[in-house]
Structure 1
Amino acid sequence: MTAVRPSPALAGGVWPSLYEAAARVEKLVAALPEPGSRSPGERAEAAAAKDAARAERVRFLQAHVDDVYDRLTAGRTVGLRLAELVEAAAVEFPALLPSAGQLAEDRKRRQADKEGHEIDQGIFLRAVLGSPAAGPHLLDTMLLPTPRALELLPAFRRTGEVRTRSVAVQRRDGAAYLTMCRDDCLNAEDVEQVDDMETAVDLALLDPEVRVGVVRGGEMTHPRYRGKRVFSAGINLKSLHAGGISLVGFLLRRELGYLHKLVRGVRTDGEGAWHARTVEKPWIGAVDTFAIGGGMQILLVLDHVVAASDAYFTLPAAREGIVPGAGNFRLGRHTGPRISRQVILQGRRLWASEPDARLVADEVVEPEEMDAAVARGVERLSAPAVVANRRMLNLAEEPPDEFRRYMAEFALQQALRLYDEDVIAKVGRFAGRE
């Protein structure tokens, strides 16, 4: 392991104490057994040392986050996506963030056996997103199209079709149909599906022939739902148990990547873009069977939701033990505070057939009428003035600074939840049942 060394930049102030605290953690961890093999006393000793170092990191970032971010982005003239940003910061300021080697070692472990380095990433990203200077720049960077989407765009514009493992995109009559097709896991999201969804959203937004986007689940091969369409089962808890759900690559990228683009659009800085830096389009969600957890979160950023009469929506945050993304930020806007607390804190399930579900779904139809209802929605949202009006609605309902401040706190709180004993126990029981 490479020893932590102080950077010459930003030296002084709290920096020496930060360096010393980080060095103590590294020395202690190197002398202890692997995380999963530590005794209760050893775990407590490691936790105390980490807490001391994390307190120093918080103090340092409170004083220097804008200087750190400006150094990493050349005075905010270079855009670094989340993964690029934490990687660059770990190299430039090694006492602040885990190294690539430390993260690689943790990726080999189950969630229960990890060292918890992502909490330090959460501390850093809370400070960046919380900054009125650095935070907007990072959010703006995350609205850029991904290199993968730009590579696939010419073929999509030519053929009107792209198929990834998790998502199929088809353009028909001015609409882009994004079909989530992880039939092996009821469209439960993992890192691969988040990448595929952001690619698909980028393609739909960048193709000038597309006026409206539609998100729907495909037919399943799961024995219980064979041949039925399913919207989404939410986060892939089996992947979380195995250590495959990361803070940066999944939980934050999902929120600041494709979900944020569904709200704000994809950024384009080409000539003629003086009137708007993003390309936005209206979006429709078509819910068959259920939209659980992250599936329900998707509905909260769409412009029109059609649900089959036998479908239901739920955000089982209390059962899973994690924070349901920006669901806490958005659900109350749709349902009011009382219902949002019932859903998030108590696990209430909203059936499409009950009156309260109409606060989430605009239209409820019989399962066999779903295709026709989606077609009607596409026709209505194709009107020329829709894009300008949805832009103004989103600006009023979800001001960018409020979203930024929410995501700043989410970055740390979700990181802490990932390593809490109740979450580890719950996902372990789920994996055992599977």
Structure 2
Amino acid sequence: MTGFEPAAAGLAAAAAAVEEVLAALPEPGDRSPGQRAEAAAAFDGVRALRVRFLDAHVEEVYDRLTDGRATRLRLDALVEAAGERFPWLVPGAALLAGERGRAQGAKEGREIDQGIFLRAVLRSDVAGPHLLDAMLHPTPRALALLPEFQRSGVFASESVHLERRDGVARLTLCRDDCLNAEDERQVDDMETAVDLALLDPSVRAGLLRGGPMSHPRYRGRRVFSAGINLKSLHAGEISLVGFLLRRELGYLSKIYRGVRTDACWHSPRTEKPWVAAVDTFAIGGGTQVLLVFDHVLAAADSYLSLPAAAEGIVPGAGNLRLARFAGPRLSRQVILGGRRVWAAEPEARTLVDEVVPPELLDAAIERALDRFTADGEAVVANRRMLNLAEEPPEAFRRYLAEFALQQALRLYGADVVAKSGRFAGGAR
């Protein structure tokens, strides 16, 4: 096995040679088919070297970035530190700045190298658990807002409105102009809201529901979520680290596994039960969210879908979790075939716990919350054991490792660029 320093020097030289090739070519969006093939061949060569280097040295790289794992770095801080210290391994700030502001189809695809790096980190039995643990800690934003939330019981942001009432943290998705389609702003707001709900000791359970829309097609109606914001994706504003991976390792993981608080000796995380209520539809990421909730209600006229094949991307951890609920056949019909599952269908009962007429949904939500808060400690202990049995952390980590690279590759697929452009013109 080649030592770290000689292997690093060889990789640095190869990375510099690739940059010389790219510098001689037009901008990515202006290249001919032959020039695109030349750039792809250059990237393929150096990326193969990166994979081999990380196979041998990822734990040493991670230890150098985290002071031997004495420092916790979240995803964004980790890739930023790697780009600064090892720019031949992970793109540095200057290269990423060159991508920023470009449409997805006009980018060089530097995030693929972040995917290679993060796959190796997450695959490591040493580095991977350390990174997952770092992502379960409260965000600095949430810690700064916590005293005011405990006093007022309200947190209002661009994407989410959080109100504590009767021991329940009621999260309302409020991107009324875009049918609660998710972008990086919403992911940050959601993680902040989830942290606040989990950190406030007076909160016994959480509720997530979509708010009324101003969108012309659904004006005045509640909508749960239209999934990923395809306009933002087409515009190049959906990032691998800040959206796709932070979403899975941030607020979704915290809903499922709790927030790291070290509050007591017998549990390092604070966990609470969560209820979700679906109005109108839960598309794509909206359905992914439901798979980490303890109890899901749906209006009888609503539907769920994961249009992964239509969009061209991987639906987060949906591939890991959906079959656990719906079985392998229905999962393939939904993910590969684009099937919508209407709440009124018998098959929907594998994905939702209660289906009620829209006018009765409010009352059904309150009954469900009463059940989950009546036996709080027993509910928390049993949900923890259920989640551990159904999705061991190691299984989740192995899945996310491969997801990091496959989703990075999908982001820059020609089909994804074309499809996101078509979808971006309207609301589904």
Gaps of 5+ in 1: 1-8
Question: Any conservation in 2 of the 1:21–1:49 contact (CA below 8 Å)?
Answer: no
Matches of 1:388 and 1:53, distance apart in 2: 48
Distance 2:11 2:94 in 1: 20
Question: Which residue of structure 1 aligns with residue 346 of structure 2?
Answer: 355
Q: Identify the match of residue 61 of structure 1 among 54, 72, 90.
A: 54
Distance 2:280 2:330 in 1: 21
Q: Which runs of 5+ in 2 are unaligned?
A: none
Structural RMSD (CA): 1.0
Distance 1:25 1:117 in 2: 12
Q: Say whether residues 1:312 and 2:306 are aligned partners.
A: no
Seen in structure 2, the aligned counterparts of structure 1 residues 88 and 19 have a Cα distance that, compared at 3 Å, is same
Q: Does 1:265 align with 2:244?
A: no
TM-score of the superposition, structure 1-length normalised? 0.96
Alignment of 1:37-116 (within 5 A): 37-116=30-109
Q: C-alpha distance in 2, partners of 1:413/1:308?
A: 34
Give the CA deviation at 1:433: 5.1
Please point out which of 153, 156, 176 is paired with 1:163: 156
Q: Aligned runs of 1:116-127 on 2, under 5 Å?
A: 116-127=109-120
Q: For 1:125 and 1:428, locate their aligned partners in 2 and report how far apart those are by CA, in whole Å.
A: 28
Distance apart, 1:32 and its partner CA? 1.5
Q: CA deviation at 1:428?
A: 1.2
Equivalent residue letter for 2:204: R
CA deviation digits over 1:91-118, x for unaligned, max 9?
A: 1111101111111110121000000000
State how far apart, in whole Å, the 1-side matches of 2:132 and 2:384 are. 17
Instruction: Give the letter for the 2:5 counterpart.
Output: A
Alignment-derived partner of residue 423 in structure 2: 430
Deviation at residue 10 of structure 1 after TM alignment: 2.7
1:385 equivalent in structure 2? 378
- Cα drift, residue 432 of structure 1: 4.1
Q: How does 1:2-401 map to 2 (within 5 A)?
A: 10-12=4-6, 14-270=7-263, 273-382=264-373, 383=375, 384-401=377-394
Paired residues in the alignment total 423
* 1:72-131: CA deviation from partner (whole Å, max 9, x where unpaired): 111111100000000001111111011111111101210000000000000000000000
Distance 1:143 1:15 in 2: 32
> SS state of the match for residue 71, structure 2?
coil
CA deviation after TM superposition for structure 1 residue 15, in Å? 2.5
Whether the aligned pair in 1 keeps the contact of 2:231 and 2:425 (CA below 8 Å) is no
Q: Measure, in 2, the Cα distance between the counterparts of 1:385 and 1:355.
A: 30
Structure 1 stretches (4+) deviating beyond 6 angstroms?
none
1:363 corresponds to which letter in structure 2?
Answer: E
Q: Secondary structure at the match of 1:277?
A: strand
> SS of 1:213's equivalent?
strand
Contact 1:335–1:359 (8 Å) recurs in 2: yes
Output the CA distance in 1 between the equivalents of 2:217 and 2:8.
57
The aligned counterpart of 1:4 is: none
Query: Which range is displaced more, 317-326 or 98-107?
Result: 98-107
Cα distance in 1 between the residues matched to 2:425 and 2:265: 54
d(CA) in 1 for partners of 2:222 and 2:13? Answer: 55
Counterpart AA for 2:154 = E
Which secondary structure does the structure 2 equivalent of 1:11 belong to?
Answer: helix
| Percent of aligned pairs sharing the same letter | 70
The one of 380, 397, 408 equivalent to 2:401 is 408
Residue 420 of structure 1, aligned match among 402, 406, 413: 413
**Whole-angstrom CA distance in 1 between matches of 2:341 and 2:37:** 42
Distance in 1 between the 2:27 and 2:138 partners?
40
